[in-house]
Amino acid sequence: MHRLRLLNTGIRTQQICRKFHSTPARRVGSLHSFSEEEKLLKDTVARFAKEVIAPKVKKMDDISLMDPTIIRALFEQGLMGIETSATYGGNGMNFTSAILAIEEIAKVDPSVSVVVDVQNTLVSIPLRRWGTEEQQQKYLPRLCTDTVGCFCLSEWGSGSDAFALQTTARREGNSFVLNGTKAWITNSGESQFFIVFANVDHSMGYKGITAFIVTKHNTGIKIGKRENKLGLRASSTCEVNLVNCVVSEQDVLGEVGKGYKYAIETLNEGRIGIAAQMCGLAQGALDHTIPYLMQRKQFGQTIASFQGVRFDYAWLATEIEAARLLTYNAARLQEEGKPFTKEAAMAKLFSSEVATRVASKCVEMLGGVGFTKDFPVEKYYRDCKIGQIYEGTTNIQLETIGKLVVKEYE
């Protein structure tokens, strides 16, 4: 099918578009070897998450609303423009730095983590990679300092079958007029900046799909229904309605008809971010659980000292480590300009599965308290499920990996 050919073009383009922002890591150490600034970033974000985000997590989940002061703090700390070059107001750090930030935040709140993830991967990558100089100068600084963005691909009728999207873009003079409804759009509730995928010519199939930059200044774009979700409740997931939304041709991102390519390549890279989020989530759940197990006693001994329980958390720790290594490795491959599609899919596939297993087991090991909202672990259990669904379902990851495996034998 044409998906394989699309993946091929993706890999080659990634190799051409490599940009090293800081010292490439020398692979003489383990995947836990980090540069000085990667270490400093990891420590700083961990502290920031613990001191600024942690106190607000429960309330944000209860009322299903992201605290605007948290979003402001994310911008102020520079966490919304990690890789963007300093010329455009970003921090010029490498991809692993973004991954570490996403992971550390997810240990405390996967909802806040996804805000940082989407902004730094799905929104920032297309603009940095395919935007014109004018577009980058116009939009990147705002995305780094105060404007939340989102990636509008999915629709009610097209999730995994992304290229069956129905949103149309009709050419009218120097503009395009967009009509359609996007669904399941993360960050949209707080967004002022939208990357919208629409088809300029349905007779061309996916080759008509074009990426457009839309902002709240454009007429005809409106945030619709906000989803009431099982987990990641503080993260906004809304419908985005386009009704005769006029977009100047200056705001076409890249080339007309190449949107499908940009979407695939962006998602290939973005899923490493989701893998990091899931690793953080799993670790966060475990971090809340083990200390409790070491304290609570039954039958004269701590829960943690029962062999059956020990075997459980030994497995969990092993799986988290494996997921983390897959994630870090995929990130390093990206940095080195090597092909990473298979490894990225493996990382996302495995991390989301591990997160579900870990969160579930942690609730179980905690016993009664694990099942109450007084304890933070039930939130990780609800939050983890989306990992197997968004940015490419588990089955899509398996398809991707399977096809690449076969390719190695052709």
Q: Residues interacting with other proteins, by CB under 8 A? A: 22, 36-37, 39-41, 43-44, 47-48, 51-52, 76-79, 82, 86, 91-93, 97
For residue 318, the minimal CB distance to other proteins (Å) is: 20
Burial of 212 (0-12, 13-18, 19+ CB in 10 A): buried
For residue 72, the minimal CB distance to other proteins (Å) is: 13
For residue 77, the minimal CB distance to other proteins (Å) is: 5
Nearer to other proteins, 56 or 258 (CB): 56
Nearer to other proteins, 125 or 263 (CB): 125
Can you tell me whether residue 51 is helix, strand or coil?
A: helix
Q: Residues 197, 259: contact at Cβ < 8 Å? A: yes
Catalytic residue among 155, 319, 353, 391: 391
Phi, psi of 132 (to 5 degrees): -75, 165
For residue 85, the minimal CB distance to other proteins (Å) is: 11
Cα angle at 340 between 1 and 4, to 5 degrees? 5
For residue 402, the minimal CB distance to other proteins (Å) is: 38
Amino acid identity, position 391: E
> Which helix (H) or strand (E) segment is 336 a member of?
none
Question: How large is the C-alpha radius of gyration of the chain?
Answer: 21
- Length of the chain measured in residues: 410
Decide if 36 is catalytic. no
CA 79 to chain centre: 14
Burial of 241 (0-12, 13-18, 19+ CB in 10 A): middle
Cα angle at 244 between 240 and 245, to 5 degrees? 60
Residues assigned a catalytic role: 391
